[in-house]
A and B are shown apart, each in its own frame.
Chain A
Amino acid sequence: MLFFSFFKTLTNQTVTIELKNDIRIRGILKSVDQYLNIKLDDVEVLELDKYPHLSSVKNMFIRGSVVRYVMLPRSEVDVGLLEDATRREAANQAGKAR
């Protein structure tokens, strides 16, 4: 659930998402759910001429399972805090497994 919470803190930020089929989409992160499905507003498709079917799309629901990367604004991510939280989550998981 850590990354779900993490993405929730990034709502209303501009992010770029790369899908597993190489499409890159930039937009404002509006919502995310437990599967890391992502809702983007004001989308802009990079290299749009390769993907003409997306030319008139204004907002988008992307299924979490097809996302390869999410590129985030550097200034909005507290890397130290995130590292801490991931370690704590990992420790929790290890504790539960025992």
Chain B
Amino acid sequence: MERLSLNDNPGNAQQQRNPQQQQQFQQQNALGPGGPQPTPGPPQLPPQMFTTAAQLLDLTDKKLVLVLRDGRKLIGVLRSWDQFANLVLQDTIERIYAGKLYADVPRGIFIVRGENVLLLGEVDLDREDDIPSTVTKASFEEVYELKKKEDDQRKSSDKKRNTELQALGFEPEHSGEILF
């Protein structure tokens, strides 16, 4: 698919106009080729712009941050995708955050099933090395240990909250779906 922009022909929008407007249109056009161009109604956007494919097309071959539903952050180059946002990432690293530390783990190629995608962000290559001063790089082992501790802590506090909520008759939010 080619790249589309606001200036493209909206395609079949012309045919959707009712006969009255069509007539008006012809009258205006009768002013001659030098006359003002008619501008009927609000600008119509090409419908092809509003598809998953068009949205992901812009991100293809770009360096992206992919956040998964289980909280993983993957950084890689988007090489392929489909309408369900199933993705292929190349040269992927996983960045693990814990407390004020982070670590990178080289992972390689990822094929991600669309349902696990939370968001995809294009990395601004001019700013990608400006890591916020609130986090510092550390060794994988150190971050992993810290993360495990954090995860366990969160798991037990979530469990406690959910049992309390359930006793009060509340269904826990996004139950059955893990989201971080």
Contacts and interface: CB of A to CB of B under 8 A. Distances in A.
Interface of A: 4, 8, 11, 19-21, 31-35, 37, 39, 43, 48-49, 52-63, 65-66
B50 A8 contact: yes
Interface in B44-68: 45, 49-52, 54-56, 58-59, 65, 67
Binding site secondary structure of chain A = mixed
Contacts of B2: none
Contact of B50 (A32, A59, A62): A32
Contact of B95 (A8, A11, A53): A53
B56 to A, nearest CB: 7
Interface of B: 45, 49-52, 54-56, 58-59, 65, 67, 69, 73, 85, 95, 97, 102, 114-115, 117-124, 127-128, 130-132, 134-135, 173-174, 179-180
Given A39-B55, A66-B69, A58 B120 contact: no
A35 B179 CA distance: 19
Given A21-B180, A55-B131, A63-B118, A33 B124 contact: no
A49 B130 CA distance: 13
B114 to A, nearest CB: 7
Nearest to B135: A52
Contacts of B128: 56
A56 B118 contact: no
B65 A61 contact: no
B5 to A, nearest CB: 11
Given A19-B119, A58-B124, 6 more contacts: A33-B50, A39-B58, A57-B123, A58-B123, A61-B120, A63-B118
Given A43-B121, A66-B69, A61 B56 contact: yes
Nearest to A25: B119
B133 to A, nearest CB: 10
Nearest to B67: A53
A56 B127 contact: yes
A27 B119 CA distance: 14
